[in-house]
Amino acid sequence: RKSELPDLSGVATELLRAMPVEDVIDTLNDKHGLTLSLGQLIQLVGEKAYIEALRHEAAELEMNRISAEQTAQLWNDAGRPAPGGGLWSSKKIAALLAMEP
């Protein structure tokens, strides 16, 4: 099974560019029979790809007038780990949005 991981890593990274992390987990399960937790997905794609996906999603939410506080609440409710640990806050969302793509 280890030999499949590099291929699925690329697939997962591409999916992450197009959809939220929860949808990536569902797609990998439905189309590839791979059951992953959010933590395992982050390990598979790497923290950099995970953070970039979050930054992209946060920017989309901001364009749809979802506040940083609301985004933090949504992501905490979904159990998404924040970089550096702890819970998401409006400050962490603002820092994520300020990052260069």
| Cα 24 to Cα 30: distance, rounded to the nearest angstrom | 10
Question: What does the pLDDT read at residue 5?
Answer: 55
Q: What is the mean pLDDT of residues 77-100?
A: 94
Scan for tokens 């690329």, then name that residue: 10
Structure tokens at 11: 């697939």
Nearest in space to 41 (alpha carbons), one of 11, 18, 21: 21
The pairs formed by 26-30 with CB atoms below 8 angstroms and a separation of 24 or more are none
Q: What is the mean pLDDT of residues 33-51?
A: 94
pTM of the model: 0.86
Question: What does the pLDDT read at residue 100?
Answer: 78
Q: What is the mean pLDDT of residues 8-31?
A: 94
Q: What is the mean pLDDT of residues 56-81?
A: 96
Q: Where are the domains of the chain?
A: 1-45, 46-101
